[in-house]
Amino acid sequence: MMQTELDLFNPASPAEPQWIGKQAVVLPGFALAWVETLLPELRRIIAQAPFRNMVTPGGLNMAVGLTNCGALGWVSDRRGYRYSPLDPLSQQPWPVLPGALSELSALAAAAAGFADFQPDACLVNCYKPGTRLSLHQDRDERDYSQPIVSVSLGLPAVFQFGGHTRSEPTQRVGLRHGDVMVWGGADRLRFHGVLPLKPGSHPLLGSRRINLTLRKAG
Ligand code: MD3
Ligand code: FE
C-alpha cells in the first residue's frame, strides 16, 4: 500500500503540512505524540477553571464552552471582549499554562516559519454536537505580528476560513484529533469559524471537541 493511502486510513499517522494560506498551515497529527501528556493537564485546567458559556457584548450566549490557562485569559461580557489576568468566576489567576503546551506550540510555530513564539494565553474551547462558532476575527491581542497556534482534540470538525472582510467567500478544512494549525502574518486577521459539530464519540474525549488556541496576547 502506498504511504498516502496508509495516511488516509490510519488516523494516528501524521501527514504532510497543508498550506491553506501564505502563512496559515495545518500540521496533521502534530500533537498526537503529546496527547498523553496534555490530557491530564487539561483535566487540571478544567477542574480549576470550568468551561462556561460567556455572554457577548450584544447579550447573546456563546454556544461554545470557554476557559483559559496562562497569564492572560480571553473573556467576554456585556462590557466587551478583553484579556484578563483573573478568572471572573473565581477572581483568581487562570491555571498555569502547561510547559508541554508552550513547547508544542513553539515547535509548531517554528515549523510554520515563526521563530521564538512565547504564548502567554491559551483559550480553551469546548464544542458539543450541534455547537458552532460563527465567522469572526481574533483582534484582541496586542501584536498581530505574533501567530496563533491551535490544537484540536476529540471529535473532528470543519473549520471555515475566509478573507479580510466577512462577505468574502470561505474555504473549508477538516480538523481531526491531534491536528495543529498555525496562523500568522498576512493570514492573521482572516475571518474564520467552525461549522456545527457532528454527533459522535471520541475514545479519549467522549462526545465533544476541545480546541486549544495559544496566543501572545499581552
Ligand atoms: C485564523 N477557534 O478560539 S482554531 C478562536 O476551532 C477560534 O475553536 C476555532 O477561532 C476553534 O478564536 C479555530 C484556529 C484559529 C484560531 C485563531 C485564528 C484560526 C485563526 C486567528 C486568525 C485566523
Ligand atoms: Fe478565532
pLDDT of residue 132: 97
Classify residue 85 by its DSSP letter: S
Distance in Å, CA 192 to ligand 2 centroid: 6
Which of 148, 158, 179 for mutating ligand 1's site (highest number of atoms within 8 Å of CB)? 148
- Residue 12 pLDDT exceeds 90: no
pLDDT of residue 15: 84
1, amino acid identity: M
Number of domains composing the chain = 1
- Please, what is the angle between helix 99-111 and helix 35-48, to 10°? 130
Q: Supply the residue whose CA is at minimum distance from atom 11 of ligand 1.
A: 211
pLDDT of residue 196: 98
pLDDT of residue 149: 98
E strand or H helix at 169: none
Distances 90 to 40, 48, 94, 151, 190 between C-alpha atoms, Å: 21, 9, 9, 26, 33
Indicate which CATH number applies to the domain containing 148. Answer: 2.60.120.590
- What is the extent of the structural domain holding 184? 3-215
Classify residue 55 by its DSSP letter: B
- Residue 58 pLDDT exceeds 70: yes
More confident residue, 209 or 15: 209
Ligand 2 ion: Cβ-proximal residues, 5 Å cutoff: 138
Cell of 88: 471572573
Q: Supply the residue whose CA is at minimum distance from atom 17 of ligand 1.
A: 148
What's the whole-number mean pLDDT along residues 107-114? 96
Classify residue 168 by its DSSP letter: S
Residue 5 near residue 156, CB atoms below 8 Å: no
- Residue 10 pLDDT exceeds 90: no
CA distance 194 to 178: 17
What phi, psi does 71 have (nearest 5°)? -65, -30
Which of 19, 20, 123, 150 for mutating ligand 1's site (highest number of atoms within 8 Å of CB)? 150
Residue 27 near residue 182, CB atoms below 8 Å: yes
What's the whole-number mean pLDDT along residues 167-195? 97
